[in-house]
Amino acid sequence: MPAKKQRRCCAGPERVVRYPVIKIRLYPTQEQSELLEKTFGCCRYLWNQMLCDVQEFYAATDLHYIPTPAKYKKSAPFLTAVDSQALCAVHQNLRKAFMDFFRAPKRYHYPQFKTKKAQKDSFTVYSRPYHTGPSIVLTAEGVRMPKLGCIPANLHRNPQPDWLLRSVTVTKTKTGKYFCAVVFKCEVDAPAEVTPSLEKTIGLNHSLHCLYVDSNGNCVHMPVHLTKAKAKLSRMQRKLSGMQRGSRNYEKQAQKIRLLQEHIANQRNDFLHKESRRIANAWDAVCVRDTDLVKLSQKVRGANVLDFGFGSFRACLKYKLEQQGKRYAAIDPYAPTAKTCSQCGGICEHLDQGARSWVCPQCGACLSREENAARNIRDWGYALLCGEHLQTGAVS
C-alpha cells in the first residue's frame, strides 16, 4: 500500500491528447490543379456509388453493408489515377456518417448524395508511415503529398517539434482558391481546473440587434468594417440583378460577389475568434442560453438571426474555455430569463415581446430586457455549475 502511494505521488501531471489544426493556402501548378480536380471528382463519384449500393443492398437483404473502393476500380479505371488513400477516406467518412445517423438520428441526417454545386470540394488523405518516411510531409516550400508532389503553400505558422502529422484535408472554394487543413496529434498537460466564483462569472444573452449583451450591461456590436462590407455587398447584388444572366459581365460581377462574400466570412470569423478569446481569458466561467438559432430564425421574420454567427461564437467560446480548465454552462432555452426579475425573482407573465424595458410588478425595479436576461443567465448558470437545485426548474 505505501508503494502505491509513492508511485501516485511521484507520477507526473495528467496528459491529454489534442489535435491542433493549421490551415494554409495552396498555390498548385497547372498539372497539380488538374490532378486535384480529378481527385475531387473521383471522391464525389465514389461516395455516390457507395451510397447507391448501400441503399440497393439494404432494400434487397434488409442488411447494411458498405463496399470497399477496390470493388469500383474495375468498372471505373479512372479511379486508379488518384491517390488510393483519398478513396479509402471516402469509405471511412461514409461509414462514420451512417454510424452517427444510427446513434443519434435526431441530431444527424441520413447521408445525402453529393453534387458539383456544393459550396466547396474536398478530400482527405491520411498520413501513413513507411520505411522511407511518412507519406505526407510539411516542408518549407509547401506540402508534399502522394501523386501530387510538393504543392507550394503559404506557411504562416510552424508546427511544434512534438506534433505528429495525422491527415490533410484539401478544399477548393467557389472563388477558385485551394486550402489545406493539416491535422496534428500531440500530448499536453491537462489544464488545472478553475473553480469559478460569482464575481468571475459572466452571462451572455443573444440579441437580435447585436452579437450579445452581457450581465454587466455591455452591448457588443459587430465591427464597423464588417458592416461596410455588407452594405457594399448589397449594392453589388442589386447591380447583378439588372444584368443579363449568363453574359460575360454577369459572370464577372458574380465572381466579384463571391470574393466579397468570402471576405465577409473571413472578417466575421476573425472577429468571433478574437472576441471569444478575450472573454475566455478574462472570465473563469461563462453562462450562455442554449437557444436553437435555426428555429429562432424561422420564428422571427425580418431579422438576420444567423448573420451575426452567434452559434459559431458559442462553439469557439466553449473549446477555448475547456483548454484553460474553465467552465462553460448552457441553460435551458425555455427558461424565462427575460420575464424573471433578476433582483427579487418575480415573474411578469404578460410581458410584451417588443418591450425593451419593463417594471417589476413585485419590487418596482425598472429593468432592461436584455441586461436582465443576461443577469439571470449568469445566476442560473452559476447555480448549475455549483450543483444547486433551482426552484424555477428552468435550468437543464
3 state DSSP class of 347: strand
In a domain, 195, yes or no: no
Mark whether 177 and 269 lie in a shared domain.
Answer: no
- 207 within 8 A of 305, measured Cβ to Cβ: no
Mark whether 233 and 363 lie in a shared domain.
Answer: yes
> Interior CA angle at 148 toward 144 and 153, to 5°?
50
Residue 356, burial from CB neighbour count under 10 angstroms (0-12, 13-18, 19+): exposed
Mark whether 229 and 251 lie in a shared domain.
Answer: yes
Mark whether 370 and 340 lie in a shared domain.
Answer: yes
Phi/psi at 115 (5° precision): -130, 160
- The amino acid that residue 259 corresponds to is L
Cβ of 211: how many Cβ atoms within 10 Å?
18
Contacts of residue 109, defined as CB under 8 A and 6 or more positions apart, other chains included, come to 101
| d(C-alpha 96, C-alpha 94), whole Å | 5
Mark whether 225 and 374 lie in a shared domain.
Answer: yes
Mark whether 175 and 206 lie in a shared domain.
Answer: no
Report mean pLDDT in 10-residue bins for the chain, 396 residues.
44 81 94 95 94 93 90 91 93 94 91 86 91 88 92 90 93 92 92 89 90 89 92 94 92 94 94 95 93 84 80 93 92 85 79 76 79 90 76 37
Residue 304: per-residue pLDDT:
77
Mark whether 30 and 128 lie in a shared domain.
Answer: yes
Q: All 3 cell numbers of residue 94?
A: 461514409
In a domain, 4, yes or no: no
Residue 345 backbone zone (phi > 0: left; psi -120 to 50: alpha; other: beta): left
| d(C-alpha 291, C-alpha 71), whole Å | 45
Mark whether 182 and 283 lie in a shared domain.
Answer: no
Q: Which of the listed residues 138, 169, 189 is the one where a domain comes to its end? A: 189
In a domain, 166, yes or no: yes
Q: Which of the listed residues 189, 212, 230 is the one where a domain comes to its end? A: 189
Contacts of residue 316, defined as CB under 8 A and 6 or more positions apart, other chains included, come to 272, 273, 276
- 171 within 8 A of 184, measured Cβ to Cβ: no
| d(C-alpha 142, C-alpha 138), whole Å | 6
Mark whether 378 and 281 lie in a shared domain.
Answer: yes
Mark whether 311 and 343 lie in a shared domain.
Answer: yes
3 state DSSP class of 248: helix
Mark whether 91 and 180 lie in a shared domain.
Answer: yes
Q: Which of the listed residues 154, 189, 224 is the one where a domain comes to its end? A: 189
In a domain, 104, yes or no: yes
| d(C-alpha 166, C-alpha 307), whole Å | 34
Whole-model pTM: value is 0.83
- The amino acid that residue 297 corresponds to is S
Buried b (16+ CB within 10 A) or exposed e, 295-331: ebeeeeeeeebeebbbbebbebbbebbeeeebbbbbb
Q: Give the residue numbers spanning the domain of 270.
A: 201-386
Contacts of residue 248, defined as CB under 8 A and 6 or more positions apart, other chains included, come to none
In a domain, 8, yes or no: no
In a domain, 42, yes or no: yes
Q: All 3 cell numbers of residue 340?
A: 424573471
In a domain, 10, yes or no: no
Mark whether 208 and 152 lie in a shared domain.
Answer: no
Q: Tell me the pLDDT of the chain averaged across its residues.
A: 87
Per the structure, the count of domains in the chain is 2
In a domain, 367, yes or no: yes
Q: All 3 cell numbers of residue 243?
A: 444584368
